[in-house]
């Protein structure tokens, strides 16, 4: 039997682990994120892999994400953009947990010309994996978008990560669920949800800014008979549309974007981009993470 | 003894009541807002005024704010802008509570040319009061700003309320207190807070948008040694600065603004306006509310 490997993407919100044998995923597990642990990250990792270790006592483990942050398993310094795969791999940290070798990916940092810094942990692994799965992405200039609680827009130049831009869209949406804006309106209408998302996208495009546009979520219910379902979708569209407006204002909305992700949020971004005549192609986020983790392990 | 009057500003967050005799405030009380009641608004009002009624059995009561909303004591329809004092007073509703006459102010609504609606309840009373306390405000064109959970920018033309613009700045700030952005940084520095507010104001002015700028609150702690106190102030400055940028983009940032309010938030807006070379003058919010409520009662 060839040596087994355990690959993992361990973010703030959740842990995803894959057991790899002969190049194939033979099992997978999920667990709590670095921000939601009862005990230490080391205890959580040992518990998560225990069912696999009995049969795979010599497994190598390769992890990316917030596991490498200050409050993670082991802090791995960010490596600076412009960043190619060789420098990124060189930034990884090796340690031993429960007698097993563990490699943790470095995150990436980009300092703007104006001295601001932007960072990511985990997404860089997905991006390097995406370039393996889709080699044209490593040629010329490309923009990739990684939806999430914090969405990341990353510029690639000839296989190098050159710019990172983070948007808090998902976190602001989640927080506004608890706000005064979404109090139930008078009634619900068939088709309201879809119309709400489209209306929100349009408002996010033509507005002078988000702070002044948000209140329409409420007044449409108070004065124009919209329901809470419409308001929920309007808010989602308004936030995604506003994010695209910000990207556009900074001159970084291209004619084609590669979305690395999946599920409802990735589809919402694809729809928002399509409404701006931007072509969106989708790569599976988990497959990209595994391809990136595999790259990190190649010399292991 | 002349007839006593009870004036009250009853918003979502809090109730402020004043007992007026011979034109002077002789007592005041505070209580929970319409959004924070245990029982009905009627029960809450009866309990709040009970200590005064024994000695003032024939008092008249005049209220403004969310007390006139759907979930308040009695729903009073909004009156539409452009709105002068005569039409506003005509929109008030009269009812009887516990044998006492109660008058409730109408809120104001403005429908933009593009069909969006903006509304307020309570601020219109402060504005009509401000024009009594400061008659030049009722001449020509003026912009008034009412800071709060939802800040309101209102255009006055010859004493008429003509435009209302609501910004969710305060509510977004409160929600972001619970976000990942403000996790404590490595240490705190003397003067960090003041520097943080200024830096945030500057970023709110030059940014392409709020969603992309928010993350700097976190990265400045992760990568540049800023503390949680700096981050808190940076976030406040970024949000206020972003609001002013939105007002400016819509062409409504004038050379002078009258702020109706008080306390720390009003001072922050004054500082933010000053950084844009906008002259800010301050009128006390409670005094304006009383003057507006008094106007509503004049024909009572």
A102 sits in the region (left: phi over 0; alpha: psi -120 to 50; else beta) called beta
CB-CB under 8 Å, B208 with A250: yes
What pLDDT band is residue A252 in, cutting at 50, 70 and 90? confident
Note the pLDDT of residue A178. Answer: 77
What residue in B sits closest to A166 (Cα-Cα)? B212
> Is pLDDT above 70 for B1?
no
Closest-CA residue to B219 (of A196, A78, A185): A78
Q: Does A53 touch chain B (CB under 8 A)?
A: no
B299 Cβ contact partners less than 8 Å away, ≥ 6 residues apart: B89
Is B204 in contact with B238 (CB distance < 8 Å)? Answer: yes
The beta-carbon neighbor of A119 closest among B172, B176, B223 is: B223
Separation of alpha carbons A170 and A151, rounded Å: 7
Per-residue pLDDT, averaged over A136-157, amounts to: 97
Strand partners, B28: B18
Closest C-alpha to A150, from B216, B171, B197: B216
Q: Mind telling me how many Å the CA of A118 is from chain B's nearest CA? A: 6
Contact A214 B78 (CB under 8 A): no
A147 Cβ contact list (under 8 Å, min separation 6)? A170, A259, A261, A265, A266, A268, A269
Q: Determine which of A59-73, A182-196, A208-222, B86-100 has the lowest per-residue pLDDT on average.
A: A182-196
Nearest to B175 among A70, A175, A211 (CB): A175
Residue carrying structure tokens 């009380």: B29
Structure confidence by residue, pLDDT tens digits, B47-92: 999 999 989 888 999 999 999 999 999 999 999 999 999 999 999 9
Predicted confidence band of residue B186 (pLDDT cuts 50, 70, 90): low
Are B215 and A166 an interchain contact pair (Cβ–Cβ within 8 Å)?
A: yes
Whole-complex ipTM: 0.93
- B171/A165 touch (CB, cutoff 8 Å), yes or no: no
- Within 8 A of B269 by CB-CB distance, chain A residues are none
Interface check for A164 against chain B (CB to CB < 8 A): the answer is no
Q: Cβ contacts (< 8 Å) between A249 and chain B: which residues? A: 208-209
pLDDT at A1 (0 to 100): 47
| A22 interface with B at CB cutoff 8 Å | no
Helix (H, G, I), strand (E, B) or coil at A70: coil
Give A212's contacts in chain B (Cβ within 8 Å).
165-167, 243, 246-247, 250
Task: Write down the pLDDT at residue B300.
Answer: 44
pLDDT tens per residue, range B268-285: 999 999 999 999 999 999
Percent of chain B with pLDDT over 70: 95
Q: Which residues in chain A touch residue B35, judged by CB atoms under 8 angstroms apart?
A: 180
Chain A segment 212-231 residues within 8 A of B by beta carbon are 212, 214-216, 219-220, 222-224
Closest CA to B225 of B178, B189, B271: B189
Nearest CA in chain B to A178: B175
Q: Is it the case that residue B190 has pLDDT exceeding 80?
A: no
Between helix B228-249 and helix B263-274 the angle, nearest 10°, is 60
Q: What's the mean pLDDT when you consider all of chain A?
A: 93
CB contact A287 to B (< 8 Å):
no
What confidence score (pLDDT) does residue A120 get?
97
What is the reported pLDDT for B189? 60
Q: Is B123 on the interface with A (CB under 8 A)?
A: no
User: CA of A219, closest CA in chain B: separation in Å?
Assistant: 6
Q: Name the residue in chain A with its Cα closest to that of B35.
A: A180
Q: How far apart are the first and last CA of chain B?
A: 18
Between A169-176 and B169-176, two packed helices, what is the crossing angle to 10 degrees?
100
**Residue A5 near residue A297 (C-beta atoms within 8 A):** yes
pLDDT at B137 over 60: yes
pLDDT in tens, B157-169: 999 999 999 999 9
Buried/exposed code over B209-233 (b: 16+ C-beta within 10 A; e: otherwise): bbbbbbbbbbbbbbbeebbbbbbbb
- pLDDT number for residue A112: 87
Chain B interface, best mutation among A168, A217, A222, by max B CB count within 10 A: A168
Using one digit for the tens of pLDDT, what is the confidence trace for A46-94? 999 999 998 988 899 999 999 999 999 999 999 999 999 999 999 999 9
Backbone angles phi, psi at A151, to 5 degrees: -80, 145
The residue among A69, A119, A215 with the most chain B CBs within 10 A of its CB, best to mutate, is A215
Q: 């990207």: which residue's tokens? A: A247
pLDDT range class, residue B115, cuts 50, 70, 90: confident
Q: Kindly state whether B277 is in contact with chain A, defined as any CB-CB distance less than 8 angstroms.
A: no
Q: How far is B244 from chain A (nearest CA, A)?
A: 10
The DSSP bridge pattern shows strands A79-80 and A93-97 to be unpaired
Average pLDDT for residues A100-118, to the nearest whole number? Answer: 93
CA angle, A79 then B181 then A245, to 5°: 85
Residue appearing with tokens 């692994």: A125
Rounded distance, CA A235 to CA A230, Å?
Answer: 9
CA B17, distance to chain mean position in Å, is 16
Determine the longest span between alpha carbons in chain B, in angstroms.
Answer: 68
Q: Which of A166, A212, A219 sits opposite B167 (nearest CB)?
A: A212
Which residues, 6 or more positions from A240, have their beta carbon under 8 angstroms from its beta carbon? A169, A200, A201, A204, A268, A269, A272
The gap from C-alpha B244 to its chain's centroid, in whole angstroms, comes to: 16
Contact flag B212-A175 (C-beta cutoff 8 Å): no
Separation CA A233–CA B109 (nearest Å): 24
Say whether residue A199 is in contact with chain B using an 8 A CB cutoff: no
User: Which pLDDT score is estimated for A2?
Assistant: 62
Q: Hey, is the C-beta of B178 within 8 angstroms of any chain A C-beta?
A: yes
Query: Please, where are the H alpha helices in chain A?
Result: 41-53, 85-90, 123-133, 169-176, 192-206, 210-213, 216-224, 228-249, 263-274, 285-297
Distances (CA, A) of A44 to A30, A69, A97: 11, 15, 11
| Structure confidence at residue B2 (pLDDT) | 61
Confidence of residue A115 (pLDDT cuts 50, 70, 90): confident
Rounded average pLDDT over B114-136: 95
């Amino acid at each position: 039997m060839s040596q087994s490997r355990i690959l993992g993407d361990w973010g703030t919100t959740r842990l995803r682990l894959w057991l790899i044998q002969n190049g194939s995923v033979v099992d997978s597990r999920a667990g709590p994120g670095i921000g939601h642990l009862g005990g230490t990250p080391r205890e959580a990792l040992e518990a998560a892999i225990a069912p696999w270790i009995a049969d795979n006592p010599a497994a190598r483990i390769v992890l990316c994400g917030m596991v490498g942050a200050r409050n993670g398993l082991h802090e791995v310094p960010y490596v600076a953009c412009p960043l190619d795969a060789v420098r990124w791999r060189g930034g990884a940290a090796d340690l031993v947990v429960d007698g097993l070798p563990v490699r943790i990916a470095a995150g990436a940092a980009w300092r703007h010309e104006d001295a601001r810094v932007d960072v990511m942990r985990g997404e860089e692994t997905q991006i390097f994996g995406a370039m393996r799965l889709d080699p044209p992405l490593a040629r010329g200039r490309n923009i990739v978008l990684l939806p999430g609680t914090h969405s990341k827009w990353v510029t690639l130049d000839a296989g190098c990560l050159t710019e990172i831009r983070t948007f808090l869209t998902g976190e602001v949406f989640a927080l506004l669920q608890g706000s005064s804006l979404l109090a139930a309106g008078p009634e619900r209408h068939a088709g309201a949800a879809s119309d709400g998302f489209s209306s929100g996208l349009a408002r996010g495009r033509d507005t002078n800014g988000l702070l002044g546009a948000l209140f329409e979520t409420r007044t449409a219910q108070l004065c124009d008979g919209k329901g809470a379902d419409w308001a929920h979708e309007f808010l989602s569209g308004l936030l995604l549309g506003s994010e695209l407006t910000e990207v556009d204002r900074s001159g970084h909305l291209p004619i084609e974007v590669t979305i690395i992700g999946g599920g409802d949020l990735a589809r919402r971004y694809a729809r928002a981009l399509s409404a701006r005549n931007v072509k969106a192609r989708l790569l599976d986020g988990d497959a990209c993470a595994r391809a990136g983790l595999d790259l990190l392990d190649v010399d292991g």
